[in-house]
A and B are shown apart, each in its own frame.
Chain A
Amino acid sequence: MAALTREETEALIQEVLEVYPEQARKDRAKHLAVNDQSVEKSNKCITSNRKSQPGVMTIRGCAYAGSKGVVWGPIKDMIHISHGPVGCGQYSRAGRRNYYVGTTGVNAFGTMNFTSDFQEKDIVFGGDKKLAKIMHEIEELFPLNKGISIQSECPIGLIGDDIEAVAKKANKEIGKPVVPVRCEGFRGVSQSLGHHIANDAIRDWVLENRDGDDSFPTTPYDVAVIGDYNIGGDAWASRTLLEEMGLRVVAQWSGDGTIAEMEKTPKVKLNLIHCYRSMNYIARHMEEKYKIPWIEYNFFGPTKIAESLRKIASHFDETIMAGAEKVILKYQAEYDAVIAKYKPRLQGKRVMLYVGGLRPRHVIGAYEDLGMEVVGTGYEFGHNDDYDRTIKEMGNATLIYDDVTGYEFEEFVKRVQPDLIGSGIKEKYIFQKMGIPFRQMHSWDYSGPYHGYDGFAIFARDMDMTLNNPCWKQVKVPWKKDESPSIAIAASA
């Protein structure tokens, strides 16, 4: 299908908005836009980070998900208590596939679920005593833990428990960091505020722990990788490149990360930010307090990787700059071969994306490296600054949708007819049943890594495997009545 013109795209948005009652239509209209590269500031064309409309199907999560699920959860040597009823932690347990090295249950705890399992009496009489008891239980059962974080679920904020007091007391008793995080699910409009709250908790309870302690030997090439959650091994595929160019990666935030690494981060020379949305706050704080500059980088697809490696290297001396060139050259044969193999199979295919807070813009380059085109994109919980950074990455007259509703997304897809959709698990089965190839772009559909050169090879293979899978031709949607034999048989049975 040919690409839509600007007028057609605008008409499509109007048509989709039609079904809403007036008030909702007015509100949703602000979240849908046709991309215009000449616009400098996104707030002129799109509104983001607002409360979702009641009654629509939103795909967002809660602040607890942003803190426990994204920022704190992957810190592997700490125990993160999902404080409150059991469900919030249990239903999200290990879902993000943050890989780590360690022995689970002994010195690493990433995939386990710890909860204070609130019952009625805890809500009525308060859960502070229980929480205090849990800390000691943890110490006894898992003595190799390096600290505890308390991730508040909704009820904690509602009943007003004083988790800070419990944390301070426990910290004195067990002599390890105990971090209370006020990330109750009802705060904010999406998981985004949870990231911010989690960042603030790190700032207030962790970052200063080694101020004035110079026992850690530093080098001029120390960096920290911030905002890489090692999904399917992403951070590992990134870290090797940085090390090969001569840098020393002191800390990984927070995929396969440890609390000791976080405490040492104020000693690095440069912070490298991958997921801007979830960790820019702490980077800005370190810039102000410790004068550590930070830069954003993008390790999706060879074009962006080379760009990023050079940008990172430009903050160091010639040896690192030469190192970057060496790395780019070293892998060239590899990624050229990947492109030679998959580009002919994927050339010209059109993709629609709808992901969280970074990938809607970061993966565009990787698709373009394979000759594909991104024709629609949007964020679950992006802010203005994310859209500012997206406008230039996207083609003119493409669709941009913020906090898209289930209905809008389906309608857009029906009309735009993309060859591939990259979104989350809640969207996956709807579109697969519509017969459209789909990749789950939050946890890489049980695959990965997708970062770095190694990741690009896997990314390309996965896209090909999904898109060119013969199964899509077998899927007939029920409302398209045709002479498909399987339907005829089913009807006659």
Chain B
Amino acid sequence: MPSVMLKKNTEGKLVFYVPKKDLEEVAESIEFDKPDKWGGEVLLSDGSKYYFEPMDEQPDFPITLRAKRLDSGE
């Protein structure tokens, strides 16, 4: 369960940062990305997948959240 720092970049895309691994990636897709529901599976541009417990509102970015690694993407 890595801690992930999330923020929006200038294009409004979600940027993923895992400090321990120096992983800095843009999220390709997010399962739920609506004003009243956010989270689920997130696919990064390097092919790896993470899972965030869905929540009832958009988090206030930038924010650090815990995520579950779903597959390595390698």
Contacts and interface: CB of A to CB of B under 8 A. Distances in A.
Q: Which size class do A's interface residues fall under?
A: 10 to 19
B7 interface: yes
B62 to A, nearest CB: 5
B22 A384 contact: yes
B21 to A, nearest CB: 8
Contacts of B53: none
A305 to B, nearest CB: 21
Interface stretch (A280-288, A394-402, A438-446): A280-288
Contact of A49 (B17, B22, B63, B64): B22
Contacts, number: 23
Nearest to B23: A384
B26 to A, nearest CB: 11
A383 B17 contact: no
Contacts of A385: 22, 24
Nearest to A289: B62
A27 interface: no
A168 interface: no
A288 B24 contact: no
A287 B62 contact: yes
A288 B5 contact: yes
Given A287-B7, A288-B62, A281 B23 contact: no
B2 interface: no
Contact of B22 (A284, A291, A383): A383
Give the interface centre of B7, B22, B64 by most chain A CB atoms within 10 Å. B22
Interface string B34-47: 00000000000110
B12 to A, nearest CB: 14
B7 A388 contact: no
A281 B24 contact: no
A188 B30 CA distance: 34
Interface of B: 5, 7, 17, 19, 21-24, 45-46, 62-64
Given A385-B22, A388-B24, 8 more contacts: A41-B46, A49-B22, A284-B19, A287-B7, A288-B7, A288-B62, A288-B64, A291-B62
